[in-house]
């Protein structure tokens, strides 16, 4: 495989090193990129864009001097049939452009195995932050976890194994049922005010506002809130700030907490596509 990696953080840097260690060629375009990229891209079988965001606020993370339109500029140099692996943020316009040029665009987290592993790494990181921010062991804490998708469930199972008393708030009955089968206490989102006064910590994984002003009023001023979702978040941040509640925003946990483990998960996803004949 001949790949070009555009931008990225320490996780992407380590992904490149792992791929090179497996015998593949990976060139890295960073903010100091020069004219060589124009020669490298037509020879590439794969363009690797960063994870979790390929575009954030209009630019490629780690390649900010490329400016808006950077991805389109890179795509113009790729041969038809080239695979682009990407994080979020490219949008429908770029997807349509890729299709028109005969490029194959795929998201890393379309792979359920990668999604599960990334959730496990993120869960361990979130619990590490929680333990660092409190002055009690977990088996003395009552924790509300909002959301019970892949990430939420990974957190809950680890918290329960460490002795924490975990309440799960989920919108869908199926998720509530799964949480109960996993040994958690489960409630609907509308029931959050009923248990809020007794919670020591709240961990949110829902990327839509669930805790607004009225709900936040029900919590103790000592409750710790960890926001683990992507914008617009599940916690109304301005309302929380006006009440002097402690909210920690925790984006990009795998890359910060365990970049090598996160890179291994990405590397395996990329190589799986290679072995399946995507490249």
Domain assignment present for residue 137? The answer is yes
In the chain, the number of structural domains is: 2
- Please write the tens of the pLDDT for every residue from 27-65: 999 887 777 888 899 999 999 999 999 998 889 999 988
Residue 248: enclosing H or E segment and its boundaries? strand 246-249
- Please write the tens of the pLDDT for every residue from 124-177: 999 999 999 998 999 999 999 999 999 999 999 999 999 999 999 999 999 999
Domain assignment present for residue 118? The answer is yes
State residue 277's pLDDT score.
Answer: 62
Query: Residue 189: which of 229, 251, 145 has the closest Cα?
Result: 145
Q: Do 154 and 102 belong together in one domain?
A: no
Predicted confidence band of residue 278 (pLDDT cuts 50, 70, 90):
very low
Q: Do 106 and 129 belong together in one domain?
A: no
- Which of 51, 85, 110 is the C-terminal boundary of a domain? 110
- Which of 81, 110, 139 is the C-terminal boundary of a domain? 110
- Which of 60, 93, 110 is the C-terminal boundary of a domain? 110
Domain assignment present for residue 103? The answer is yes
Q: Which residues pair with 246 in a beta bridge?
A: 224
Q: In the chain, how long is the greatest CA-to-CA distance?
A: 62
Domain assignment present for residue 83? The answer is yes
pTM of the predicted model as reported, rounded to 2 decimal places? 0.89
Q: Do 93 and 125 belong together in one domain?
A: no
Place of tokens 């792992």: 18
Residue 28 falls in which region: left (phi positive, over 0), alpha (psi -120 to 50) or beta = beta
User: Domain span at residue 234?
Assistant: 114-255
State residue 279's pLDDT score.
Answer: 44
State residue 48's pLDDT score.
Answer: 97
How high does pLDDT run on average in the chain?
A: 94
What is the full DSSP assignment across 137-182?
-GGG-EEEEE--SHHHHHHHHHHHHTT-EEEEE-SSHHHHHHHHHT
Give the CATH number for residue 164: 3.40.50.720
């Amino acid at each position: 495989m001949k790949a070009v990696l555009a931008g990225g953080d320490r996780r992407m840097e380590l992904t490149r090193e792992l791929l090179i260690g497996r015998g593949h060629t990976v060139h890295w375009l960073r903010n100091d990129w020069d004219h060589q990229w124009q020669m490298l891209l037509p020879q590439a079988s794969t363009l690797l864009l960063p994870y979790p965001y390929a575009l954030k606020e209009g630019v490629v993370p780690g390649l900010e001097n490329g400016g808006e339109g950077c991805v389109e500029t890179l795509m113009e140099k790729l041969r038809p049939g080239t695979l682009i692996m990407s994080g979020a943020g490219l949008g429908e316009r770029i997807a349509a452009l890729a299709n028109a040029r005969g490029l194959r665009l795929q998201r890393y987290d379309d792979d359920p195995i990668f999604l599960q592993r990334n959730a496990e790494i993120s869960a361990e990181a979130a619990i590490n932050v929680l333990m660092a921010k409190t002055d009690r062991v977990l088996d003395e804490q009552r924790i509300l976890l909002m959301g019970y998708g892949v990430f939420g469930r990974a957190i809950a199972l680890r918290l329960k194994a460490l002795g924490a008393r975990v309440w799960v708030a989920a919108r869908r009955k199926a998720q509530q049922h799964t949480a109960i089968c996993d040994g958690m206490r489960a409630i609907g989102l509308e029931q959050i005010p009923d248990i809020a006064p007794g919670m020591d910590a709240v961990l949110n994984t829902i990327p839509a506002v669930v805790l607004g002003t009225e709900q936040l009023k029900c919590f103790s001023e000592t409750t710790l809130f960890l926001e683990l979702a992507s914008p617009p978040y599940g916690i109304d941040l301005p309302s929380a700030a006006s009440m002097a509640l402690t909210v920690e925003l925790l984006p990009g946990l795998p890359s910060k907490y365990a970049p090598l483990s996160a890179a291994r998960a990405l590397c395996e996803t990329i190589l799986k596509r290679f072995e399946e004949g995507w490249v």
